[in-house]
Amino acid sequence: MNFFYHLGRYTKTLYSLFSRPEKAAMYWKELFRQMNLIGVGSVGIISIMTLFIGAVTSVQFAYQLQGNLIPMWYIGIIVRDSLMLELAPTLSALLLAGKVGSNISSELGTMRISEQIDAMKIMGVNTTSYLIGPKVLASVLVMPLLIIFGVAFGIVGGLLVALGGTSGFTTTEFIRGLQDPIRDFDTIIMFIKSLSFAFIITSISAYQGFHTTGGVVGVGQASTRAVVYSSIVVIIADFLIAALLL
Amino acid sequence: MIQVKDLYKSFNGNDVLKGINITMNEGKCNLVIGKSGAGKTVLIKCMVGLYEPTKGEILYDNRDFVKMTDKERKHLRMEMGMLFQGNALFDSMTVEDNVRFPLDMFTSMTKKEKAARVDEILSRVNLKGAHKKFPSEISGGMMKRVGIARAIVQKPRYLFCDEPNSGLDPITSIVIDELIQEITLDLNITTVINTHDMNSVMGIGDKVIYIHEGEVHWEGSGKEVMTSKETELNNFVFASKFWKSIKEDQK
Ligand SMILES: Nc1ncnc2c1ncn2[C@@H]1O[C@H](COP(=O)(O)OP(=O)(O)O)[C@@H](O)[C@H]1O
Ligand SMILES: [Mg+2]
């Protein structure tokens, strides 16, 4: 199976998401279910991760700033901006590629091999738009919120380090840095990254799951591919966004 | 009535169906029998549009499914129900949600009407008190009943059952067969059943079609199966000692 075959089928799958839903109410219901699953279900893990990432970043930057001419309060800016621009969106995306991506692909894969998707198709359901559409849309809607949470928890991580008082900067310095105005462009980049990563993860994982073949073994393989491919594409997109927009 | 005309299906150049011609009658159980690998599932999947035939016509009361646009097919699908070999119940939904799903998706019935219909259908398949259970919490026979209920909840004109007895004990098999037969008569449906179970052939075979390696070798009624002279069919029917002994008794 070559790259272009998959690219073509992936595009076709995505294109079919735009067909008119049979029954809007069913799609709404599914959308809210997915938002709950993806959004509420990921807040915990994202918070824990970004809390530590924020803490580690501030410890390490404080270490690098020591004996330097750059004032210590810069730490606040650095931690905040690197969380916004890179750490929160990208690391969360990689984490979610594992959590949400494998979940979506194994759910759809199981539905495929147990013929649940065929059963829907025979009823006349537009299976791609009902099974994939709400997942992609839900993740695109909740991802920016998750990232905002992530940035906030990362900053809390930095604050906790400052409170600990062993890393060479104070809470006052850290907060002074945080108060430096946020560039609008940074916020835009953060949102662009959140949206694109959410789309990449869910669409690739759904594609892998939806087209699963080869029984139970195939479900496992599809889920592995979902995580690996969506992580790689996230990193590539991360670079492209930075290279093209910054 | 469903007419299949000169139907071919191949996968990567490997012919699985080689010119099938059959007529399935209304209000009858039309059994497609044959060894495993004969092409029964492929035939049923072509008929419902899960596979695209390589060539041929499938006429649903003179409407050719193969030539239809997606939209026309969707319309016709409202008149079809299918029971899958592995049931294909939605395992994230309860029994009643499974049965109600087609109604939720395609009708503008009120909540109350839908609940009433689901109750009616679930009692039609003799399944009571399982409304709130998940597929993983019920027995194989009950799953079949849910599968049947979901397939007929929209009162279809055509019902497809792929190996409805697979995985069931002999007694439950007969009960499920009879249920399918009753429903076929009640709703005057054209029912197509794939099976390799001789009990079903004798019990509910209004019309029996024997397929061997993708070709129709024999057609007739369930009773005629015993007296047929077709070699392949004889090999199939009298493969087991039990049916062989019955034939010898008859002589
Ligand atoms: N999706 C497919 N791709 C390739 N070959 C298939 C596919 N589905 C079925 N076949 C082949 O078609 C033949 C008939 O299969 P099937 O219709 O499932 O048999 P059965 O009569 O037991 O239901 C088998 O040889 C099988 O290998
Ligand atoms: Mg089969």
What's the rounded Cα separation, in Å, for the pair B186 and B180? 10
Any chain B CB within 8 A of the CB of A33? no
Count up the domains in chain B and report the number: 1
Task: Name the residue of chain B whose CA is nearest to A110's CA.
Answer: B91
Residues 139-168 of A with CB under 8 A from B: none
Q: What is the pLDDT of residues B131-162, one digit of tens each?
A: 999 999 999 999 999 999 999 999 999 999 99
**Which of B84, B105, B150 has the CB atom closest to A125's CB atom?**
B105
Q: Which of B41, B46, B85, B192 to mutate to test the pocket of ligand 1 (most atoms within 8 A of CB)?
A: B41
Per-residue tokens: A80: 């905040």
* Overall pTM > 0.90: yes
Q: Is the Cβ pair A114, B104 closer than 8 Å?
A: no
State the DSSP string of B148-206. Answer: HHHHHTT--SEEEEESTTTT--HHHHHHHHHHHHHHHHHHT-EEEEEE--HHHHHHH-S
Atom of ligand 1 nearest to the CA of B37: 19
* Cα dist from A140 to A39, A161, A200, whole Å: 10, 32, 10
Mean pLDDT of all residues belonging to chain A: 94
Of A26, A115, A124, the CB nearest to B86: A115
> Domains of chain A: which residue ranges?
24-245
pLDDT at position A97: 97
| 8 Å CB contact of B104 and A26 | yes
- Which atom of ligand 1 lies closest to the CA of B43? 17
B47, burial (CB in 10 Å: exposed 0-12, middle 13-18, buried 19+)? buried
Q: In what order do the strands lie in the sheet with B80-83?
A: B80-83, B158-162, B190-195, B28-33, B207-212, B215-220
Q: Which of A13, A227, A196, A208 is nearest to A102 (CA)?
A: A227
Q: Which of A181, A102, A184, A200 lies closest to A143 in space, CA to CA?
A: A200
Give the confidence band of A179 by pLDDT, cuts at 50, 70, 90.
very high
Residue B37 placed within a domain? yes
Does residue A246 carry a pLDDT above 90? no
Atom 7 in ligand 1: residue holding the nearest Cα: B11
How confident is the model at residue A1, as a pLDDT? 64
Provide the domain limits for residue B22: 1-79+159-167+192-251
Residue B66 placed within a domain? yes
Ligand 1 geometric centre to CA of B36 (Å): 9
Task: Tell me if residue A238 falls in helix, strand or coil.
Answer: helix
Distance CA A238, CA A245 (A): 11
Q: Is residue B126 part of a domain?
A: no
The pLDDT tens digits of the residues spanning B29-56 come to: 999 999 999 999 999 999 999 999 999 9
Closest CA to A235 of A90, A111, A106, A92: A90
Query: With 0-12 CB in 10 A as exposed, 13-18 as middle and 19+ as buried, what is B236?
Result: buried
**Could you give the CA distance from residue A102 to residue A112 in angstroms, rounded to a whole number?**
15
Instruction: Looking at the CA of residue B42, tell me the nearest atom of ligand 1.
Output: 17
Instruction: For residue B203, give the CATH number of its domain.
Output: 3.40.50.300
A114 reaches B (C-beta below 8 A)? yes
Can you tell me which residue has the tokens 């824990």? A48
pLDDT in tens, A109-144: 999 999 999 999 999 999 999 999 999 999 999 999
Q: What is the pLDDT of residue B249?
A: 79
| pLDDT confidence band for A190 (50 / 70 / 90) | very high
Q: Which residue has the tokens 């070699």?
A: B231
The residue whose CB lies within 8 Å of the most ligand 1 atoms, and thus the one to mutate among B7, B8, B11, is B11
% of residues, chain A, pLDDT over 70? 100
Phi and psi, residue B20, nearest 5°: -85, 130
Q: Measured in angstroms, how far is the CA atom of residue B73 from the centroid of ligand 2?
A: 24
Residue for token pair 């906030």: A152
Structural domain contains residue B241: yes
**Cα–Cα distance measured from residue A17 to residue A72, given in angstroms and rounded to the nearest whole number:** 51
Q: How large is the average pLDDT for residues B201-216?
A: 93
User: Is pLDDT above 90 for B236?
Assistant: no
Query: Is B230 a member of any domain?
Result: yes
| Residue B75, domain member (yes or no) | yes
CB contact under 8 Å between B77 and A124, yes or no, is yes
Q: Whose CA is nearest to atom 26 of ligand 1?
A: B37
Torsion, Cα B111 B113 B115 B120, to 10 degrees, reads: -170
- The minimal CB distance from B102 to the residues A111, A114, A123 is found for A123
B89, part of any domain: no
**3-state SS class at B24:** strand
